[in-house]
Amino acid sequence: MIVVTGGAGFIGSAIVWGLNQKGIDNIIIVDSLKKTEKWKNLRSLKYADYIEKEDFLYFLDNDLLPSNISKIIHMGACSSTWEDDASYLTQNNYTFTKILAEYCIENSIRFVYASSAATYGMGEKGFDDDTNKLEELRPLNIYGYSKQMFDMHAKKNNYFDKIVGLKFFNVFGPNEYHKGNMTSKMYKSFYEINDTKKIQLFRSDHPDWKDGAFVRDFVYIKDVVKIVLEILDNPNVNGLFNLGTAKSRSWNDLANAMFKSMDIESNIEYIDIFDHLKGKYQYFTEANMNSLKNAGINIEFSSLEDSIDDYVKNYLIPNKYLGD
């Protein structure tokens, strides 16, 4: 039995889809649906049971979980970089992860959890996933720090020879539709282009960067799923790893790829950076993927253009989810 927390969310539901593609449906999905549209991600998935997060914690505390759980893929978290309730974030992203990790280690259950590239802050210390450098990182917001808290806890307690943490970079693709302000620029731009026939990007306020030329490591959800499933198939792979493409691309590249995929002439408008982002805006992110490659995990990443083309033509235009 495999447990996927956050299994109705973006990355979690995509992982369940990937497991289904391999003929695996002995899956327990854990999430907190509340008044969200996440339930739509579940409609085409095959799974054995759904458990609300609070019930799952009760079952765990009272030893009521099935005895045949072999893997827990922990994607459940508050992923909003705009959330400012530090207690809420630390409870969801640190305490819950700590409880699950300890349970898995005590019961010899494979544990894979979501960390984040937000732990790197401005990137002034680089984007190297070497755990010896964890103490040097300075996240820019409480979301990033709540992820950093568990990474540090895992290092302090020597967990990384038993578990896997994944520092996700800028993941995009189908099933992110419920995320509101936290949806990718690809998703937002699709509707922006439909409505206005243009894309707005931030004007640079840094002398070393031209408008729209700052870069991100954009990684397609289908590539993320492939890597996660390969890690699950290799129980000797443990540690804290970046998960990006190791090839950064500019926002201008993203915009032009969107226009091309939608067969509309490029039209980019540059606007001033939002006040709440000033001093906190990353001009460069790029995953160092050597650790994962050295561990024997290596796949071919789709290009930004091919990924956007698949997302737009096979999911956004027909309004489909993974598995539809």
Quick check: is 179 catalytic?
Answer: yes
Half-sphere exposure of residue 151, counting CA atoms within 13 Å on the CB side? 31
Quick check: is 58 catalytic?
Answer: no
Query: Which residue of the set 143, 145, 159, 315 is catalytic?
Result: 143
Q: 316: closest CA among 192, 174, 178?
A: 174
Angle between helical axes of 251-261 and 185-196 (0-180°, round to 10):
50
Query: Which residue of the set 71, 98, 162, 179 is catalytic?
Result: 179
Residues 6+ apart with CB under 8 A from 294: none
Q: Are β-strands 215-216 and 249-250 bridged in parallel, bridged antiparallel, or unpaired? A: antiparallel
43-73: string of b/e by CB count within 10 Å (b at 16+)?
Answer: ebbebeebbebeebeeeeeeeebeeebebbb
Extract the tokens encoding 233: 């198939």
Q: Using CA atoms, how far apart are residues 11 and 17, in angstroms rounded to an integer?
A: 10
Q: Using CA atoms, how far apart are residues 283 and 205, in angstroms rounded to an integer?
A: 10
Residues annotated catalytic, as ranges: 143, 179
